[in-house]
């Protein structure tokens, strides 16, 4: 069917490669198997969408990305014998048959088993055998298997499947007591033991065992409602859910007058408050996080503001609000794309407020502890951080400075284009600079006694920069290995930086300003399935209830964003949210602005409903409304992702300070924010 060629290319490029599927064998097999042959005629046009689709017996054909991910994680290779539990349409078995030598597939619905067999015959796939029976028993006659895949989820891993795993064999299966709460688990049989790896949240149909009469299942015994991976109709009606949101929401008129006391009560004595935004260019999000921050500083003693910006840029703001820098520095802060993300009215106001607040504390004995600090968590300042380390060492230890110049010299060819570093290392001819950047960091740490004797604060700053250089090296090196590794390197760095701030100040309390995608728990979104983690997830793991994560969302309005990386800022229209998104549920509540507790403080019913996987929108510094669904929506379980949501039905673009808010260099006349 040549007419679907383009759709198939999009599937391979957008849904598989861009989301981290790398194994050429898997990509080739996904290309070779015509998915349209596995769905009913009415659904052919949707065959290459990245979504599960209904098949007979109220079951589903799995989503292409999940099929590819499972096969990649199973490392299926030529020569392997594979067991496939849950034939369904036969699609996953067909893809695996293009890689493995032999695929044995078991399906409990006779109708499905029969039609899959016919499809395999029609397509000439002669290395697949199908059994109508209970797959939880495996297929012992043909075991042991090099790989076992299970396309339906139960409370635990069936013992017979583990037993039928060959040495070194791998088993992938969704596990969870409830289909709302499934994790994709990879088991590997090693010498005598079974290793377990959690691949994140998924949603599969239930695995239905029939121990009494394998293969002779009475349908009335089984749940009949079909639930596709990552997508499932909810038992409560939409109106019910919208009504529950309306009843629980705490409405407010505007950012300045909103009563934040109930929110502060919910935050309680948390040490970490994460303030996420679903776009980098929405005024309401910036103003609300400034307002919440102010309350946390004044009423709860928060003293650390850590933001998604580079360390050296934020350090300039830090010096200004602490009163230690009055004159603009040689290198203006926030000068790289996207400048408008920081150089805007909405950021200027809280920075001024923080400066005044700190001033009012200067006479207090412990001013250094109580004054608020402003810190950058990101790692894009590789070269200025590296220069700072050298400048520091030149002053305190010229010999170490020589060593650092030599070691860091390894990276210097890539100064104008750090991403070229990743390209160079992947060629295999150049082993990279990892040892060099790690060496500088360890030398600094090993000499900390002597170095802190000069100036503890400056030493700490140098350590931050040296760690940033090491983490940024890893980030750029892995840039070409797939989004997952570089994303993880970046978010790990952000978390490490945040933690070092908190470690240094045991009584300190931090508020974080960053995009929702960094702060909502990645394990509750499709990022988790892709093997990506983020700051929010690492923070939750470390701080538990001491960490309170808030996401901010909108339906429509205007936003400041660019068309492309390094492009000029434009004010764009935000499209109304899609019908199957969380945003649309909040929009349908009819409440224009509200705060909505989602976890500990939310009614159980609401929490449960908002745990169901739906679409969620993320606009970064780039917004492409033309391809909004592919570029800006992802799947998430909202009440597992955030503790609270803040809603602005309509929102407006931020106001940039620079007349030229574009990606090109101008002469910024406003640092530090025209104070
Ligand atoms: N891999 C399939 C996915 C089908 S959905 C595809 O690509 O189309 C999962 C399938 O598992 C359903 O068809 C369901 O009937 C089947 N299933 C559930 N429990 C089972 C069991 N105990 N034994 C065999 N099949 C089972």
Please give the pLDDT value at position 181: 67
47/405: higher pLDDT: 405
Of ligand 1's listed atoms, the one at least distance from the Cα of 151 is 9
Residue 103 lies in a domain: yes
Scanning the structure block, which residue is given the tokens 């289909």? Answer: 179
Please give the pLDDT value at position 665: 47
Of ligand 1's listed atoms, the one at least distance from the Cα of 55 is 8
C-beta of residue 179 within 8 angstroms of C-beta of residue 204: yes
Does position 223 have pLDDT exceeding 70, yes or no? Answer: no
Nearest to 303 by CA among 505, 524, 158, 150: 505
Q: Where does the pLDDT of residue 219 fall: very low under 50, low under 70, confident under 90, or very high at 90 and above?
A: very low
Of ligand 1's listed atoms, the one at least distance from the Cα of 38 is 8
Condensed to tens digits (0 to 9), the pLDDT of residues 564-608 reads 988 999 999 999 999 889 999 999 999 999 999 998 889 999 999
Q: Where does the pLDDT of residue 217 fall: very low under 50, low under 70, confident under 90, or very high at 90 and above?
A: very low
Residue 250 lies in a domain: no
* Token couple for 184: 């994709």
Ligand 1 geometric centre to CA of 152 (Å): 6
Phi, psi of 533 (to 5 degrees): -115, 175
**Residue in 30, 65, 87 to alter for ligand 1 test, most ligand atoms within 8 A of Cβ:** 87
Phi, psi of 184 (to 5 degrees): -85, 120
Cβ-count burial of 34 within 10 angstroms (0-12 exposed, 13-18 middle, 19+ buried)? middle
Residue with CA at minimum distance from ligand 1 atom 10: 86
**Residue in 88, 93, 155 to alter for ligand 1 test, most ligand atoms within 8 A of Cβ:** 88
Of ligand 1's listed atoms, the one at least distance from the Cα of 92 is 7
Residues 6+ apart with CB under 8 A from 45: none
Q: Structural domain tally of the chain?
A: 2
Mean pLDDT of the chain: 88
Please give the pLDDT value at position 363: 75
Residue 229 lies in a domain: no
Query: To which H or E segment does residue 614 belong?
Result: strand 614-617
C-beta of residue 538 within 8 angstroms of C-beta of residue 264: no
**Residue in 36, 139, 152, 231 to alter for ligand 1 test, most ligand atoms within 8 A of Cβ:** 152
Does position 444 have pLDDT exceeding 50, yes or no? Answer: yes
Residue 108 lies in a domain: yes
Of ligand 1's listed atoms, the one at least distance from the Cα of 228 is 5
Ligand 1 geometric centre to CA of 74 (Å): 18
* Token couple for 398: 């010229």
Residue 86 lies in a domain: yes
CA dist., res. 214 & res. 140, Å (int): 13
User: Average pLDDT in the 364-379 region?
Assistant: 86
How far are the Cα atoms of 126, 151, 474 from residue 103, in angstroms, in the given order?
10, 14, 39
Residue 274 lies in a domain: no
User: Average pLDDT in the 310-320 region?
Assistant: 91
Please give the pLDDT value at position 227: 33
Please give the pLDDT value at position 616: 96
In this structure, the strands spanning 547-561 and 272-277 are parallel
Condensed to tens digits (0 to 9), the pLDDT of residues 155-199 reads 999 999 999 999 999 999 999 877 666 788 999 999 878 999 888
672/517: higher pLDDT: 517
| Max avg pLDDT among 144-153, 181-190, 319-328 | 144-153
Ligand 1 geometric centre to CA of 205 (Å): 8
| Domain stop point among 178, 202, 221 | 221
User: Average pLDDT in the 382-397 region?
Assistant: 94
Ligand 1 geometric centre to CA of 207 (Å): 7
Ligand 1 geometric centre to CA of 62 (Å): 10
| Domain stop point among 221, 240, 271 | 221
Ligand 1 geometric centre to CA of 115 (Å): 13
Which of 332-346, 480-494, 656-670 bottoms out in mean pLDDT, i.e. has the lowest? 656-670
Ligand 1 geometric centre to CA of 88 (Å): 5
| Domain stop point among 174, 203, 221 | 221
Residues 6+ apart with CB under 8 A from 89: 38, 39, 55, 61, 112, 115, 116, 119
The verdict on pTM exceeding 0.75 is: no
Q: Which residues lie with the beta carbon below 6 Å from any ligand 1 atom?
A: 59-62, 85-86, 88-89, 91-92, 106-109, 112, 134-136, 151-152, 205, 207-209
Ligand 1 geometric centre to CA of 133 (Å): 11
Condensed to tens digits (0 to 9), the pLDDT of residues 486-516 reads 888 899 999 999 999 999 899 999 999 999 9
Residue with CA at minimum distance from ligand 1 atom 1: 92
Residue with CA at minimum distance from ligand 1 atom 6: 61
Does position 241 have pLDDT exceeding 70, yes or no? Answer: yes
Residues 6+ apart with CB under 8 A from 28: 98
Residue 409 lies in a domain: yes
Residue with CA at minimum distance from ligand 1 atom 13: 88
What residues make up the domain containing 461? 379-492
Residues labelled catalytic:
62
Condensed to tens digits (0 to 9), the pLDDT of residues 612-628 reads 889 999 999 999 999 89
**Residue in 107, 117, 132, 136 to alter for ligand 1 test, most ligand atoms within 8 A of Cβ:** 107
How far is Cα of residue 513 from the mean position of the Cα atoms in its chain? 16
Condensed to tens digits (0 to 9), the pLDDT of residues 446-481 reads 998 888 887 888 898 899 999 999 999 989 888 776
Residue 8 lies in a domain: yes
């Amino acid at each position: 069917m040549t007419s679907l060629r383009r759709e198939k290319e999009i599937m391979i490029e957008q849904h598989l490669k861009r989301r981290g599927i790398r194994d050429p064998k898997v990509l080739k097999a996904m290309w070779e198997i015509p998915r349209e042959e596995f769905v009913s005629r009415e659904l052919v046009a949707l065959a290459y969408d990245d979504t599960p689709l209904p098949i007979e017996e109220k079951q589903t054909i799995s989503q292409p990305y999940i099929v590819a991910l499972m096969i990649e994680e199973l490392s299926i290779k030529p020569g392997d014998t594979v067991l496939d539990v849950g034939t369904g349409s036969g699609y996953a078995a067909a893809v695996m048959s293009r890689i493995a030598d032999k695929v044995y597939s078991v399906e409990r619905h006779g109708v499905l088993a029969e039609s899959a067999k016919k499809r395999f015959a029609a397509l000439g796939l002669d290395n697949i055998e199908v059994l109508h029976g209970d797959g939880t028993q495996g297929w012992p006659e043909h075991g042991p298997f090099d790989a076992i895949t299970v396309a339906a989820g139960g409370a635990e891993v069936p013992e017979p499947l583990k037993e039928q795993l060959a040495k070194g064999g791998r088993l992938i299966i969704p596990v969870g007591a409830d289909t709302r709460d499934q994790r994709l688990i990879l088991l590997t049989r090693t010498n005598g033991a079974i290793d377990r790896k959690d691949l994140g949240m998924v949603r599969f149909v239930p695995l239905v065992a029939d121990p009494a009469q394998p293969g002779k299942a009475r349908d009335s015994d089984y749940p009949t409602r079909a639930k596709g991976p990552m997508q499932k109709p909810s038992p409560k009606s939409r109106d019910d859910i919208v009504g529950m949101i309306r009843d629980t929401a705490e409405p407010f008129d505007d950012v300045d007058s909103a009563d934040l006391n109930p929110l502060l009560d919910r935050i309680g004595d948390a040490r970490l408050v994460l303030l996420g935004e679903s776009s980098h260019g929405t005024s309401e999000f910036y103003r609300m996080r400034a307002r919440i921050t102010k309350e946390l500083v004044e009423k709860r003693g928060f003293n650390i503001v850590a933001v998604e910006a580079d360390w050296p840029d934020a350090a300039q703001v830090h010096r200004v609000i602490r009163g230690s820098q009055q004159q603009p520095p040689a290198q203006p802060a926030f000068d790289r794309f996207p400048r408008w993300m920081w150089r805007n009215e909405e950021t200027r106001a809280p920075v001024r407020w923080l400066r005044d607040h700190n001033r009012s504390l200067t006479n207090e004995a412990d001013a250094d502890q109580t004054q608020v600090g402003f810190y950058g968590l990101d790692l894009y300042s590789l070269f200025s951080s590296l220069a700072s380390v050298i400048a520091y060492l030149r002053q305190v230890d010229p010999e170490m400075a020589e060593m650092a110049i030599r070691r860091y010299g390894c990276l210097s060819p890539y100064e104008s284009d750090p991403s070229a570093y990743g390209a160079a290392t992947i060629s295999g001819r150049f082993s990279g600079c990892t040892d060099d950047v790690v060496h500088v960091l360890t030398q600094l740490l090993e000499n900390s006694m002597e170095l802190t004797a000069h100036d503890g604060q400056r030493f700490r700053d140098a350590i931050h920069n040296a760690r940033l250089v090491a983490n940024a090296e890893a980030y750029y090196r892995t840039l070409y290995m797939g989004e997952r590794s570089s994303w993880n390197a970046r978010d790990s760095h952000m978390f490490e930086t945040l933690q070092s701030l908190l470690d240094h100040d045991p009584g300190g309390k931090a508020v974080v300003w960053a995009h929702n995608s960094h702060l909502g728990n990645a394990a509750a979104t499709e990022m988790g399935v892709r093997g990506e983690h983020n700051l929010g997830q690492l923070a939750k793991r470390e701080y538990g209830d001491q960490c309170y994560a808030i996401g901010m969302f909108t339906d429509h309005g205007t936003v400041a964003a660019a068309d492309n990386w390094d492009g000029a800022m434009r004010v764009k229209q935000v499209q109304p949210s899609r019908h199957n998104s969380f945003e649309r549920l909040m929009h349908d509540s009819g409440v224009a602005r509200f705060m909505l507790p989602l976890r500990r403080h939310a009614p159980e019913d609401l929490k449960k409903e908002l745990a169901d996987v739906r679409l969620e929108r993320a606009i970064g510094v780039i917004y492409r409304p033309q391809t909004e669904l592919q570029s800006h929506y992802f799947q998430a379980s909202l009440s597992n992702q955030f503790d609270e949501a803040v809603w602005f039905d309509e929102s407006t673009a931020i106001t940039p300070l620079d007349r030229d808010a574009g990606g090109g260099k101008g002469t910024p006349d406003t640092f530090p924010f025209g104070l």
